[in-house]
Amino acid sequence: MLLPEQCSSVTMSSIHLCSYCLTLSCLIKELTMYNINISSRILHFLRPAGTSRGVYTTRKSYYVTLSDTNQPNVVGIGECATLPDLSCDAMSDEEYEQKLRSFCDDFCHTGIIDIDAMRPYPSMLFGLETAKAQLDAKGSINFFNTAFGRGEEGITINGLVWMGTFEEMYQRLETKLKASFRCVKLKIGAIDFEKELDLIRHIRQAFTREQVELRVDANGAFAPEDAIPRLEALAQYDIHSIEQPIRQHQWQEMARLCADTPLPIALDEELIGVNDPTEKALLLDTIRPQYIILKPSLHGGMIGTREWITMAKERNIGSWITSALESNIGLNAIAQLTADIYGPNITTPQGLGTGQLFTDNIPMPLEIRDDQLWISD
C-alpha cells in the first residue's frame, strides 16, 4: 500500500478545488489502485438565505475525487457537506476532515463502501457514494442512465421563497411566479405569522390551487400548543402541505398533529439522525405523516434515501426529494438519484432549484427551463 501523500489542489476538467488535499492510494484486488483526493471549498450565497434557525451567508463543502488505475483519465467527484446545528454529523472542521479521511482510507483498503459504519455520517456517505457512482459511470454525470441524465426530459421542481421581511418575500414570490413556477415553497416562521398569512392570501387571490401549488416550511418554528390553530389558518388557503410544523424529537406531539391536522404534514428534520432501518420503521409507524422529504446528505446518503422512500411507499406515505444547499456537484447527484427513483416523467415537484443560490458555484451542465431542471446540451 502506498502511504498517503499531501498535495495542494485538485484540478478536474473545468473544476478547480483549492485547499488542502489528501491522496490515499492502495492496491485493490489484483492490479486496481484507487486514489482519493479530499479538498474543500467555501461557497458564498448570492443573498442571505433565511430560515427559522438563522441566516446562511456561506457554505463549506468537502469534495472527494476518486480515480483508479484501470481508468486513468476518469474521475468521480462527490460532495460532503453538513448544515451547522442540523446535520447529525456536523462537527468541527478538524474532526470532520479526520473522519472523512478515515472512511476514504477504509475504502482504499477494501474497495467497498462500509454502509453500516457510515450510517451515522450521511453527508460523508453521500459524497463517497456519489464519487463511486460517477466513476462506475466512466465519469459521466448520468450515473444511472436515466432519461433525465441523457438530457431527454426535465424534473419538475418548486420555486423557493426564502424568509425575509414581508416586502422581500413578496418580491421573491412575484419573481418565482413570473418565472412560470407552478409550485412555490414558502419558508415561514421568521416574521409575524399574520404577515405570512397576508402573503399567502395574496397568492390565493391571484392564483387558484390548480394554477399554483403552495407548500410552506416552518422548520419547526411552531410551539406544539400553537400548531393546530395555525394549521387551521393555513388550511383556508388550499395549502398542499406544511413541512415540520414543530421541532423534531417530539414523536408523540407530532403523531397527534398528523392525526388531527387539517392539512398534510411532511417530515423533514424529524428524519435526521434516524439512520437504522428498524428505527426508521418505528418513526413512520409512530408518527404516520402524510409525506416525508428526503435530503440525501442529511438522511442517509443514496442508500438511506432509497430505504426511507421504500418504507414510506409500503405505508402509503408520499415523498419527494430536495437538496440541502449543496453546490452543483451535490445537486446533480441528487437530481440523478431522483430520476432513478421516481422517473421517468416526474410530475411531483422536487426541491432541486438551488443551483442559482451561490455567486461562485461549480460549473455543471444544469439549467432551469420554466419549472423544470434539465441537463443542458
State whether 174 and 322 are in the same domain: yes
Does the pLDDT of residue 215 top 90, yes or no?
yes
State whether 206 and 340 are in the same domain: yes
Alpha carbon distance 268, 8 (integer Å): 37
State whether 116 and 168 are in the same domain: no
Q: 94-103, 163-172, 259-268: lowest mean pLDDT where? A: 163-172
Confidence of residue 4 (pLDDT cuts 50, 70, 90): very low
State whether 119 and 220 are in the same domain: no
Does the pLDDT of residue 329 top 70, yes or no?
yes
What average pLDDT does the segment 263-286 reach?
98
CATH code for position 280: 3.20.20.120
State whether 79 and 178 are in the same domain: no
Residue ending a domain, choose from 136, 171, 201: 136
State whether 126 and 190 are in the same domain: no
**Cα-Cα-Cα-Cα dihedral of 250, 294, 62, 122, to 10°?**
60
State whether 235 and 123 are in the same domain: no
pTM metric for this prediction: 0.90
State whether 264 and 302 are in the same domain: yes
What sign results for the dihedral spanned by CA atoms 344, 321, 134, 155?
positive
Nearest by Cα to 156 from 350, 11, 376, 14: 350
CB-facing half-sphere around the CA of 249: CA atoms within 13 A: 4
Q: pLDDT tens for residues 131-174?
A: 999 999 999 999 999 999 999 999 999 998 877 777 887 888 88
State whether 175 and 132 are in the same domain: no
What average pLDDT does the segment 101-130 reach?
97
Arithmetic mean of pLDDT over the chain: 89
Q: pLDDT tens for residues 197-211?
A: 988 998 888 888 988
State whether 333 and 266 are in the same domain: yes
State whether 226 and 352 are in the same domain: yes
Query: Hey, which residues are catalytic here?
Result: 187, 295
According to DSSP, residue 86 is labeled T
Domain span holding position 284: 155-375
Residue 149 maps to a domain: no
The predicted pLDDT at position 52 comes to: 56
The domain total for the chain is 2
State whether 108 and 171 are in the same domain: no
Does the pLDDT of residue 32 top 80, yes or no?
no
Amino acid, res. 188: I
CATH code for position 56: 3.30.390.10
Confidence of residue 177 (pLDDT cuts 50, 70, 90): confident
Alpha carbon distance 265, 278 (integer Å): 22
